[in-house]
Amino acid sequence: MEPTEKPKKAKEPKKKINVYNRKASFEFELLDEFDAGIVLLGSEIKSMRDGRVSIAEAYCYLHDGKVIVKNMHIAQLKNAAVQHDPLRERYLLLKKKEVRKLQNEVKDSGITIVIEHLYEKKGLAKVKIRLARGKKLFDKRESIKKKDMERDLKREGL
């Protein structure tokens, strides 16, 4: 190496977005699923890649033929030129046919749209949304019993 050359830095691997809503399957009976893109600002995608995002309280609603995410928290970056609101509403990108299907299903009482998984695909942020019906208390108890039995069986098998 010559004295004028700078040493090359090793490239750090790009961080992928991979966030699950673990409460969704416990609180809701999950029905149909859809994959959608999400409209974000530059500082939001950077913050998501740093893992500073929460979808635990996030849900979707329909307004004027558009699907909008509410209560998805994406933390602000310190050095961003334009600061974004962490809880701002964000649009989802779906096909018209999918939006119509969601509209027809949500008309039924007790059905909502929840975010199950937030991930990155080919450099773009995507969300897996599910139609969901709220569980009753006895349904939740059944889920807890089932998890406990599976855990006990795993322990005995080891």
Beta carbons within 8 Å of 102's beta carbon, 6+ residues apart: 34, 62, 67, 94, 113, 131
Return the higher-pLDDT residue of 8 and 38. Answer: 38
- Report pTM: 0.74
Question: Is the pLDDT confidence value at 43 over 90?
Answer: no
Q: pLDDT band at residue 99, thresholds of 50, 70 and 90?
A: very high
CB of 115 closer than 8 Å to CB of 129: yes
Residue 140 within a domain: no
Residue 24 within a domain: yes
Residue 59 pLDDT: 87
* Residue type present at position 121: K
Residue 3 pLDDT: 60
Residue 158 pLDDT: 65
pLDDT one-digit tens code per residue, 48-93: 888 889 888 888 999 998 999 999 998 888 887 778 888 899 999 9
Question: Is the pLDDT confidence value at 127 over 90?
Answer: yes
Residue 36 within a domain: yes
Residue 6 within a domain: no
* Structural domain that includes position 58: 18-135
> How far apart are the C-alpha atoms of 94 and 82, rounded to whole Å?
27
Question: Is the pLDDT confidence value at 36 over 90?
Answer: yes
Q: Provide the number of structural domains found in the chain.
A: 1
Residue 155 within a domain: no
Residue 37 within a domain: yes
The CATH number that applies at residue 57 is 2.40.280.10
Question: Is the pLDDT confidence value at 124 over 60?
Answer: yes
Q: Strand pairing partners for 37?
A: 93, 126
Question: Is the pLDDT confidence value at 5 over 80?
Answer: no
Residue 12 within a domain: no
